């Protein structure tokens, strides 16, 4: 078990690349009921799944990371399904994500974002949307490697399993 900060415990559920290609992906195992159909070109091929709880919200995440020259790893993409009563609507979800990502509430520029009929928000490195009361999805990229269009394309490629 890896403990980060005071209240975040992450347990690696599964690790390893599942799909051989990056970009448009044909088949991926679901992330808590959602399929990721697009990964930005250049994102690392190492996939890891995590489940943890923070602030009374359960997270199921998949991260794509790459090995750095000289050692270590860097996360390029994180897709997270969040479940918790405090995610009652889009405003509550934004408030939660502001706290979780340690953003300045007054300074964090989040524009409206639509994921189909679902309302959401998009910033430079993060998109999120409300699936239903108590359930939200977020997509976050490394802002040093990817831009807002990568966030948008990836987010629009996340859909519920049919």
> Beta strand 111-115 with 73-83: parallel, antiparallel or unpaired?
unpaired
Q: Are 127 and 116 in contact (CB under 8 A)?
A: no
| Mean pLDDT confidence for 113-123 | 96
Which carries the bigger pLDDT value, residue 126 or residue 5?
126
Cβ contacts of residue 82 below 8 Å, gap of 6+?
57, 58, 59, 93, 96, 135, 136, 137, 138
What average pLDDT does the structure give for the chain? 86
pLDDT score for 19: 43
The rounded Cα 47 to chain-centroid distance in angstroms is 13
| Mean pLDDT confidence for 87-106 | 96
Give the pLDDT band (50/70/90) at residue 162: confident
Give the pLDDT band (50/70/90) at residue 78: very high
pLDDT of 21 over the 90 cut: no
| Mean pLDDT confidence for 107-114 | 96
Give the pLDDT band (50/70/90) at residue 27: low
Domains of the chain: 2-160 (3.40.1000)
Q: Are 49 and 15 in contact (CB under 8 A)?
A: yes
């Amino acid at each position: 078990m890896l403990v980060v900060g005071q209240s975040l415990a992450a347990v690696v559920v599964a690790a390893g690349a599942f799909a051989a290609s990056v970009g448009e992906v044909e088949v991926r195992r679901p992330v808590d009921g959602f399929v990721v159909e697009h990964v930005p070109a250049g994102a690392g091929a190492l996939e890891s799944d995590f489940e943890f709880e923070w602030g009374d919200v359960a997270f199921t995440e998949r991260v794509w990371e790459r090995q750095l020259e000289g050692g270590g790893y860097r996360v390029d993409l994180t897709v997270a399904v969040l479940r918790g009563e405090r995610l009652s609507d889009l405003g509550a979800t934004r408030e939660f994500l502001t706290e979780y990502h340690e953003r300045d509430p007054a300074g964090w520029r989040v524009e409206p974002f639509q994921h189909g009929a679902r309302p959401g928000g998009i910033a430079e490195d993060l998109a999120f949307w409300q699936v239903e009361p108590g359930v939200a999805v977020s997509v976050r990229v490394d802002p040093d490697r990817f831009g807002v269009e990568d966030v948008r394309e990836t987010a629009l490629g996340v859909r519920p399993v049919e």
